[in-house]
Amino acid sequence: MAVSKSKAASASKAKAAPKADAQCCAKCEADIKSLEKKVSELESKLAGLLAASDALDKVKSEVSELKEKAKSWKEKADTNDDGKLSLEEVWKYVQKQMRRRS
């Protein structure tokens, strides 16, 4: 009788094991899908950050170019070479530039 009880217990464990494995697999699959979704979201955020970084580099480059141009314009507009621009010097420089363009 002891042998038959152990066989019955083994059989019931064998039947329960596939159900438990199926539940575990379903849970693992759900976890995997959740993680894949999170990875996808992070990848899209990263792509956005990389694009923003590239745009920032471009803007920094343009700003440095504009600073160089402004320095050049300041030197051209400073007619008395005192290192400072007066309103009169700026006005004369702008008038001069406007005449050249017309």
Burial readout 66-93 (b: 16 or more C-beta within 10 A, e: otherwise): eeeeeeeeeeebbeeeeeebeeebeeeb
- CB-based contact 79:92 (threshold 8 Å): yes
Do residues 74 and 85 make contact, with C-beta atoms less than 8 angstroms apart?
yes
In whole angstroms, what is the distance from residue 28 CA to residue 19 CA? 14
Q: What pLDDT score does 43 carry?
A: 97
Residue ranges in the chain modelled with pLDDT below 70: 1-20
Structural domain count of the chain: 1
Q: What is the pLDDT of residue 1?
A: 46
Question: What range does the domain containing 94 cover?
Answer: 2-101
| Tokens at 25, concatenated | 């697999």
Tell me the angle at which helices 87-101 and 2-77 cross, rounded to the nearest 10 degrees.
90
Q: What pLDDT is recorded for position 12? A: 55
pTM above 0.75, yes or no: no
